[in-house]
Amino acid sequence: MTSLTIRRPDDWHLHLRDGAMLAGVLPYTSRHFARAIIMPNLVPPVVTTADATAYRARIMAALPEAHTFEPLMTLYLTEGTSPDDVEEGAKSGLITAVKLYPAGATTNSHSGVRNFENAMPVLERMAKIGLPLCIHGEVTTPDVDIFDREAVFIATVLEPLKKRLPELKVTMEHITTEDGVDYVNQSDNIAGTITTHHLIINRNNILVGGIRPHYYCLPVAKREKHRLALRKAATSGNKKFFLGTDSAPHVDPLKECACGCAGCFTAINTLSCLAHVFEEDNALGQLEAFASLNGPAWYGLQPNVEKITLVKRDAPIEFPDQIETGDGPVTVFDPIFKSHWEVGG
């Protein structure tokens, strides 16, 4: 196959940041993707419907005129979040989901949830009105090894929550383990997003032959068997799995230092990388399900009507090592392979 036409994809987990960084990274997403779930972990976080209204306006103001793009806004769940505000945001159509960060789990998550009991009134209201909860599924207690955080979260937080509120719709975001895949497969009312980079790298890529900060993200990439489980889930066509790139830009000085930030910037080359990955697994026919169909079905939205075409070129497609933003350079995710697939060729 040398060309593939699919419905225009959506990104069900994206960090756009704010200000100069927002202006620098948004066009790479909006030129390919029709919609994206926008993560609320700004400083300060997007906590109320009023915050999300203002943030959405800043995103639309940064959008290149020629692009059509719909940001799907989320609220950052805190122990003080008002159920009425969440319901109002959802009913107005502004809020697509609420995001749960366990406190301390990742970048800008210090206002996240410490005591889940305090979040129950909001979660109960969400279950009642059918608003999905997006979960960063990692425990943060120091006694749990960072490579086990996801599996322990499933057993000690997610499963009890599902038992207590079975009607709550849960998107388990950026799953990184076979345990995550199995859990999503065997449970009702739960879906899983998978990033592009977790289909490509394992933990060796971060640590062998020198420490490579641009492969450091959270949840951290795990051992090879987990990457293979993610590949199998993503390329299976199973409706429970879909793309959430978790493209998470940080300027290079904040990654290349003694205590570097977590996040891989993949917006620019995600589709090119995914076509390569799906072709490698003889699954190009499932790329549309993963990137364009399963996500909208889960969120109760229509798939996009527009189409995009991916063309396989003779020569590899070149991407810059870094993009420039008004805040400084951001290194582009290096998939190690060279993809020959170009979007919109």
Residue 246 is a binding residue for ligand NCD (CB under 6 A): yes
Q: Please, what is the minimum distance in Å from the beta carbon of residue 247 to Zn ion?
A: 8
Verify cis geometry, omega within 30 degrees of 0, for the bond prior to 329: no
Judged by DSSP in three states, 310 sits in strand
- For the CB of residue 58, give the shortest distance to Zn ion in the complex, in Å: 19
Window contacting Zn ion (CB under 5 A); options: 147-155, 157-165, 244-252, 324-332? 244-252
Convert 120-157 to b/e letters by CB count within 10 Å (16 or more is b): eebbebbbeeebbbbbbbbbbeeebeebebbbbbbeeb
Residue 38 β-bridge partners: 14, 73
Instruction: Provide the minimum distance between the beta carbon of 38 and Zn ion in the complex, in angstroms, as a whole number.
Output: 10
Token digits of residue 195: 């990033």
Q: Which of 85, 246, 327, 334 is catalytic?
A: 246
Measured between its terminal Cα atoms, the distance across the chain in Å is 15
Q: Is 149 in the site for ligand NCD (CB under 6 A)?
A: no
Instruction: Please pick, from the candidates 9, 263, 296, 303, the single residue that binds ligand NCD as defined by CB under 6 A.
Output: 263
- Sites for ligand NCD among residues 9-68 (CB under 6 A): 15, 41
Give yes or no for residue 248 binding ligand NCD (CB under 6 A). yes
Residue 191 to residue 169: CA distance in whole angstroms: 8
Q: How far is the CB of 107 from ligand NCD (least distance, A)?
A: 4
244 sits near ligand NCD (criterion: CB under 6 A) = no
Residues 103-142 close enough to bind ligand NCD by CB under 6 A:
106-107, 136
Q: Is 307 helix (H, G, I), strand (E, B) or coil?
A: strand
218 contributes a contact to ligand NCD by CB under 6 A: yes
Binder of residue 38, out of Zn ion, ligand NCD, none (CB less than 5 to 8 A by kind):
none
Q: State CA 250 to chain mean position distance.
A: 15
Q: Which is nearer to Zn ion, 125 or 250 (CB)?
A: 250
Q: Minimum distance between the CB of residue 139 and Zn ion, rounded to whole angstroms? A: 17
Residue 279 interacting with ligand NCD (CB under 6 A): no
- Count of residues in contact with Zn ion, rule CB under 5 A: 1
Residue 18: CB atoms within 10 Å? 15
Residue 246 designated active-site: yes
- Sequence length of the chain is 345
Binding mask 246-285 for Zn ion (x = CB under 5 A): x---------------------------------------
**Element spanning 278, H or E:** helix 270-280
DSSP for 178-203? HHHHHHHHHSSSEEEEE-SGGGT--H
Q: Which is nearer to ligand NCD, 15 or 32 (CB)?
A: 15
In this structure, how many other beta carbons lie within 10 angstroms of the beta carbon of residue 212? 14
Of 125 and 197, which has the nearer Cβ to Zn ion? Answer: 197
Contact 144, 157 (CB under 8 A): no
Residues contributing to the site for ligand NCD (CB under 6 A): 15, 41, 106-107, 136, 217-218, 246, 248, 262-263
Residues contributing to the site for Zn ion (CB under 5 A): 246
